[in-house]
Structure 1
Amino acid sequence: MIKKLSLVCIFMLIALNIFSNPVKASSGPPVPSADSAVLMNAVTGEILYAKNPNNAYPPASTTKILTTLLTLENCELDEILTVGEGPAQAEGSSIYLLPGEQLTVRDVLYGLNLQSGNDCAEALAEHIAGSVENFAEMMNKRARELGCENSNFRNPSGLYDKDHRTSAKDLALILKELIKYPEYLEIASTMTHIIEPNNKSTETRYVWNKNKLLQPSSKYYYKGAWAGKTGYTTQSQHSYVAVAERDGQILIVTLVHDSSADYYQDTINLFNYGFSNFKTNNFINKNEILTNYTLNDNTTIPVIAGDNFFYTTYVNSDSKASFKLNLLEETLNSSSIKAGDKIGSADILLDGKTIGSMEVFSGADHVVEQKMLFHSASVLKVEDKSINLNLFYIIGSILVFLLILIAIKNKQILSEFFYKFKRKRADN
């Protein structure tokens, strides 16, 4: 009995300890093995996790996402590309393009993204810019435009060059822009693509997708994965970029300079962390009414959002974004405002901190009522009439006075005439 009571007491103590100190799930993010890593909200651009995000390393074939972006920005997919001597001799991975071979840009992009063909990268570079060197200049210019601050690209393929470097943050910015193109998502998610025989090749080529996050048979298959790109050279080590969607939220993972080759699992861990802990909130859409603003004449105009605005919060957060208007007084005080006129900007705030801004526009035409102006004009008109009337009176008075003078003068002349006439008769 004593032993049974002792066991009961022990179990009760254990239970009390468990309930009084519940186990808390770890809220910390997983730590990837890559030297530079970023988890980004693909809609807002907010970085949800970072490890040395600005450290630059050789990125190997993840370079090809920038080559793809420039191709989609400068070419039509059905354009015919003629392969030069240089691309046909490119080092590393290849789909074995032939000098003088003519293919569509679409086919070459499939070879670039699915088979990671370095020959495809150089062929696209020459087609767009005339040379690999010119294309590298385009790459660096476009990267700077996207906000990349730690990148220097020397070639379109990612072949090792000591000066060819980028960071996880910069790759995330490039991929964020690239996924705006449905053509890219279609290409990058295709499992197999066939390149038909052409003027130089009598054989049908097959290119297969190497991205294991998209392969249903792979242990790394990730439901909701849209696209990705691997990269590896001995000097560059492993790099990987990927994008995935769940419940309307789109996330990007970029990993650079990974010596352990754990990038697939690290990507999955980061995606799971991001989808489990964060949510994307829609504050307002472009052309929606942000508020109605009261003008000095007590009339109102709708203030229209100049762009979509999304922001990220933790999944359990009740925080809601607000805004602060910064309006252009000169525009608002003008005599008329047209629908679509820019009238200022709005700072977007979350928990008292500014998280972004947008331009705002008038949602309607508005003509300032000219009551005071009309009144002043009326007074001027009345005054003008008064002046004209007074002038009429003055001129009339002068004329009357002159007529009276003339009449008086005439009366004197007539009197003298009759006086002289009477005297002359009397003398007769």
Structure 2
Amino acid sequence: MISWNICDRSRNFPIWTHCVPPSRGTRNGRRSWCCLHDSRDGGGPVRRWLCVLLCVLLCLPVSVGLFLQPAGAVSQPDASDVRAAYLACLDNGQVLFEQNTDLTLYPASTVKIMTGYLACRLLGDRLGESVTLTDAMLAGVSGRSLRLAAGEELTVRDLLYASLCGGYNDATAALAVLASGSVAEFVSLMNREAERLGANGTRFTNPTGLHEDGMVTTARDIAAIARAAWGNDLFMRTVSATSYTIPATNVSSEERTVYNRNLLLSDSSQNYRNGYCRGMSAGMTDEGGWCVVTVYERDGSSLLCLVMGGADVPNGEIIPAYTRVNALLAWARQNYGYRQLYAPGAVYKVVPVGMTGLSSSRAKLVLPDGLSVYLPKDAEASADLTESLILTGGSLEAPLTAGDTVGTLTVRFGGEVIASAPVAVTEDFAVSGFLARMQSFKHYLGSRAFLASLACFALLLALYIGLVRKRRGRYGSRRGRLYRRILRTRRARRTASTRYRK
């Protein structure tokens, strides 16, 4: 019996030992090639090479992982204290971080983003209009309330700020009825708009965000809705206000000041306040947890950050959802930033121009507005970015006027489009008269009028050929020859009869 082992020579400590019968490990009384270490002779060089090989194999996964790490990759932040998180650049749609974005969750106060977005669209031209509240507008309202009363007169602007800035549910319900006639119709409109925006995992059952088992969403859907709302100036002004004062009404003799419920914007909350945040929504329910959505604008970039399902804490303790939002925004600023690829007016490329009659015609393509991209700070632009130029007509052809936009330059990072910019020509190019006429004739050849004329000509030609063939068939067959013989006979008889009479 022969045994081999892998051991540490300095300590003579076996790492692995295995025995092989002589028939498998020896050949004619000698060690075979498969014997790694024969305990009878104290080992040999095979053992040392095997140790080196094992070390290489153990290090290989780590080295391969480092080698395959994509260029410009950024270490991911921790967001374990919330159920879902999403962080993206609004300027180009680039997603910087996401966690459980397709997980079905209860939306809590994020519902008011859709409510406010639709209310601003439908009532934006009626801000100064005075509205008398009715029992139907306030029926069934619960939760956070401004204690509005039926018969009270407020403006549409007052209701918008009370709902979107202060987060009051009675003002939200009044807006829904005012915009669509009833809460049920407004909720139906919310669901249709969510479907249009691609938020297919979302179903709304009320406009306030109060918990109902059937009302669900995902972080990705809320991000899509928030992105649409970000494009509405009235909505962003309303949700970004730190406070708003409602004048005295026919019911309330005193002014009422509502304060923004989003503590990222609150002057009284130094633990969470972020001076670069705007809107959008913050609140919690027992079932949905803390949900915070905001837009961060700094250094020329606009980021959308949201967290959902944050844990609730007793009064006075730090709310994890807010600290997580600020941590994600700090991580983004530390690892990402804008980088200018082309200055405004920079020449990108020189391309030939057709239809000028000159083979030497070349146009300089410039980027009138320049081009900047939002990238990881350690990314290499020359290696990590892919640029593609798409000309509007596939190529340049005269006539062209200086300043004409002739295409788009698109930049991709990691296969995703992160920026695009129009390209324009810098000078005029006149078209050649002869080439223009040839081009017109070419266009005519491909026009419907020419094709219709060609079809009519082909039809007439086919009819003519058919008639000719029919005529030839009539006079070229045996019957035709017989008919011609009869005609000749008749003609001869008439001739003979004429001669006889004479």
- Report the RMSD for the aligned CA atoms in angstroms: 3.5
Distance in 2, matches of 1:267 and 1:97, equals 33
Alignment match, 2:297: 245
Over residues 33-61 of structure 1, what are the superposed CA-to-partner deviations in whole Å (9 max), with x where a residue is unaligned? 22121012232222111111122311111
Alignment match, 1:369: 432
Alignment match, 1:317: 379
Shift of 1:271: 1.2
Distance in 2, matches of 1:147 and 1:309, equals 29
User: After the TM superposition, which of the residue ranges 319-328 and 167-176 deviates more from structure 2?
Assistant: 319-328
Alignment match, 2:207: 156
Shift of 1:270: 1.0
Q: What SS does the corresponding residue of 1:212 show, helix, strand or coil? A: coil
Q: What SS does the corresponding residue of 1:69 show, helix, strand or coil? A: helix
The alignment status of 1:327 with 2:391, answered yes or no, reads yes
Q: Name the amino acid aligned to 1:268.
A: N
Given the alignment, which residue of 128, 136, 148 partners 1:86? 136
Under a length normalisation based on structure 1, what TM-score does the superposition of the two structures give? Answer: 0.70
CA pair 277-300 structure 1, distance change in 2 beyond 3 A: same
Shift of 1:289: 7.6
Shift of 1:292: 5.1
Alignment match, 1:407: none
Alignment of 1:1-400 (within 5 A): 27-74=75-122, 75-76=124-125, 77-89=127-139, 90-218=141-269, 219-260=271-312, 261-281=319-339, 291=349, 293-296=351-354, 297=356, 298-300=360-362, 311-319=373-381, 321=385, 323-329=387-393, 332=396, 336=399, 345-350=408-413, 353-355=415-417, 366-371=429-434
Q: Name the amino acid aligned to 1:85.
A: D
Distance in 2, matches of 1:248 and 1:174, equals 22
User: After the TM superposition, which of the residue ranges 299-308 and 110-119 deviates more from structure 2?
Assistant: 299-308
Q: What SS does the corresponding residue of 1:223 show, helix, strand or coil? A: coil
Residue 331 of structure 1 contacts residue 337 of structure 1 at CA under 8 Å; is this kept in 2? no
CA pair 88-374 structure 1, distance change in 2 beyond 3 A: closer
Residue 306 of structure 1 contacts residue 358 of structure 1 at CA under 8 Å; is this kept in 2? no
Shift of 1:245: 2.7
Residue 220 of structure 1 contacts residue 264 of structure 1 at CA under 8 Å; is this kept in 2? yes
CA pair 324-182 structure 1, distance change in 2 beyond 3 A: same
Shift of 1:314: 1.0
Residue 33 of structure 1 contacts residue 262 of structure 1 at CA under 8 Å; is this kept in 2? yes
CA pair 340-168 structure 1, distance change in 2 beyond 3 A: farther
Q: What SS does the corresponding residue of 2:193 show, helix, strand or coil? A: helix
CA pair 374-44 structure 1, distance change in 2 beyond 3 A: closer
Alignment match, 1:23: none
Q: What SS does the corresponding residue of 2:109 show, helix, strand or coil? A: helix
Residue 132 of structure 1 contacts residue 156 of structure 1 at CA under 8 Å; is this kept in 2? yes
Distance in 2, matches of 1:223 and 1:273, equals 16
Q: Name the amino acid aligned to 1:226.
A: R
Over residues 108-149 of structure 1, what are the superposed CA-to-partner deviations in whole Å (9 max), with x where a residue is unaligned? 121112321111211111111222222223223333343433
Q: Name the amino acid aligned to 1:166.
A: T
Q: What SS does the corresponding residue of 2:381 show, helix, strand or coil? A: coil
- Provide the identity percentage: 26
Residue 249 of structure 1 contacts residue 275 of structure 1 at CA under 8 Å; is this kept in 2? no
Shift of 1:287: 10
CA pair 373-144 structure 1, distance change in 2 beyond 3 A: closer
Q: Name the amino acid aligned to 1:38.
A: Y
Residue 163 of structure 2 contacts residue 171 of structure 2 at CA under 8 Å; is this kept in 1? yes
Shift of 1:170: 2.2
Distance in 1, matches of 2:278 and 2:148, equals 28
CA pair 126-370 structure 1, distance change in 2 beyond 3 A: same
Over residues 134-192 of structure 1, what are the superposed CA-to-partner deviations in whole Å (9 max), with x where a residue is unaligned? 22232233333434332222222112222222222222232233334444444334333
CA pair 245-354 structure 1, distance change in 2 beyond 3 A: closer
Under a length normalisation based on structure 2, what TM-score does the superposition of the two structures give? Answer: 0.60
Alignment of 1:395-414 (within 5 A): none
Shift of 1:367: 4.3
Distance in 1, matches of 2:371 and 2:183, equals 38
CA pair 34-374 structure 1, distance change in 2 beyond 3 A: closer
Q: What SS does the corresponding residue of 1:349 show, helix, strand or coil? A: strand
Shift of 1:345: 4.9
Higher relative contact order (CA 8 A, sep 6+): 1
Shift of 1:324: 1.6
Residue 62 of structure 1 contacts residue 241 of structure 1 at CA under 8 Å; is this kept in 2? yes
Q: What SS does the corresponding residue of 1:213 show, helix, strand or coil? A: coil
Shift of 1:371: 3.9
Residue 311 of structure 2 contacts residue 321 of structure 2 at CA under 8 Å; is this kept in 1? no
Distance in 1, matches of 2:438 and 2:165, equals 75
Consecutive unaligned residues in structure 2, runs of 5 or more: 1-73, 313-318, 440-502
Q: Name the amino acid aligned to 1:124.
A: L
Q: Name the amino acid aligned to 1:319.
A: A
Residue 80 of structure 1 contacts residue 102 of structure 1 at CA under 8 Å; is this kept in 2? yes
Shift of 1:103: 1.8
How many residue pairs were aligned? 349
